[in-house]
Amino acid sequence: MLLDQLLAETARRFPQYELGQTSITKLEKGGSDRSFYRIRMEPDWSLILVRYGESRPENARYGPLGNFLHSLGVRSPRIYGQDPLRGLLWIEDLGDADLWSYRNAPWQELGPLYRSALREIFALHARGDGGLGGLRTEPPFTRDLYAWEQGYFFANCLGRFLHLEASPLARLSALPRLTWIAERLAAFPRHLIHRDFQSQNVLIRAGQAYLIDFQGMRLGLASYDLASLLYDPYVALHAEQREELRSYYGSLWREASLTPPEDLGEAFDWAALQRLMQALGAYGYLGLVKKKEKFLRYIPVALRLLAEVLQRIPGLEPLLAQVELSLAALRQETRKRGREASRPA
């Protein structure tokens, strides 16, 4: 669809605005297969138009799930309208400032923003495992989905990006502890979760966090969402900051007179392992298969975080050793490129 067609569709949706007074700007956004446009309807009001295809059915669920989040009181963009046949969605324009934008801010400014994000995700988690009122979500986390995430990491990070040979790759992917972790995580009671709760999916407006990109919502573990934010490779938090935020999240359950989910204990490291494996697999796939090379730059940070988590999980020592070897090789390659770049022409 051409830009003038998108404007025409928007004008039909909002007839109170004259087409000649509107403007449209395409926005760049992450690894999504959707297209985003900011349409300015008048000097002081704009909206976001999302265009999506049929390749990922969950994209069509954004509108209904957004309305559901509003019914819970969770901050998220208002849904102005949706045209499922054309794959168009009109939502509130909350600006461009996400949590990632504040990554270099001092902790006294950044910490409250993270706590705001945790309050919003808590409101979703506290809903438990029901109450969708017939709305569809993505299939829930199961043993097979956890195993798929592990395989995604081995195939696209260790294999495709780091070029680990087939034999050691097979040995590592068959570690019994990985199967055990997938089975244990799948056995915990599940809650509604965001599934991609990281800094670029949290917008900040007037000091408050708003959740976006929640179309992957499903039943899973609160610890998975929490680990997604605290072990986010886009914003490498310090260990003390992660522990402070983890404690704060636990306090939200107690203040609401609710029992915190069982998976927030020892299983938190297992959830962090899963999330980091999924993220590393995604970076490799998006960077090398989809040719979105900017994602490759986050692999070293994510590997460092993965090594930190692996140090606390017995039974995965061979995988830890391989990750540390890969990190050393990446550091050596970075130093080599730096020396070559500094040589006189």
Tens digit of each residue's pLDDT (9 = 90 or more) over 11-43: 888 887 766 678 889 998 765 678 999 998 877
Closest to 128 (Cα-Cα) out of 221, 207, 204: 221
Looking at domain 20-92, its CATH superfamily turns out to be Phosphorylase Kinase; domain 1 (3.30.200.20)
63-105 tens-digit pLDDT: 999 999 999 999 999 999 999 989 999 999 999 999 999 999 9
The whole-number pLDDT of residue 29 equals 72
Alpha-helix residue ranges (DSSP H) falling in the chain: 3-13, 62-72, 107-125, 143-153, 166-173, 176-187, 222-230, 239-255, 267-284, 299-310, 317-342
φ and ψ at residue 317, rounded to 5 degrees:
-60, -40
Residues in contact with 126: Cβ distance below 8 Å, sequence separation at least 6, in sequence order? 191, 253, 256, 258
How many CA atoms, within 13 angstroms, populate the side-chain half-sphere of residue 6? Answer: 25
The whole-number pLDDT of residue 130 equals 67
CA 309/CA 19 separation, integer angstroms:
54
Task: Supply 268's token pair.
Answer: 């938190």
The whole-number pLDDT of residue 76 equals 98
Looking at domain 99-339, its CATH superfamily turns out to be Aminoglycoside phosphotransferase (APH), C-terminal lobe (3.90.1200.10)
Radius of gyration over alpha carbons of the chain, in Å?
Answer: 21
What average pLDDT score do residues 161-181 get? 98
Across the strands, what pairs with 39? 24, 47
List the chain domain ranges.
20-92, 99-339
Across the strands, what pairs with 38? 25, 48
The whole-number pLDDT of residue 171 equals 98
Closest to 223 (Cα-Cα) out of 200, 258, 199, 189: 189
Query: pLDDT tier at 1 (50, 70, 90 boundaries)?
Result: low
179-204 tens-digit pLDDT: 999 999 999 999 999 999 999 999 99
243-284 tens-digit pLDDT: 999 999 999 999 999 999 999 999 999 999 999 999 999 999
The whole-number pLDDT of residue 342 equals 64
| Mean pLDDT value across the chain | 93
Prediction pTM value: 0.93
Query: pLDDT tier at 226 (50, 70, 90 boundaries)?
Result: very high
What average pLDDT score do residues 146-160 get? 98
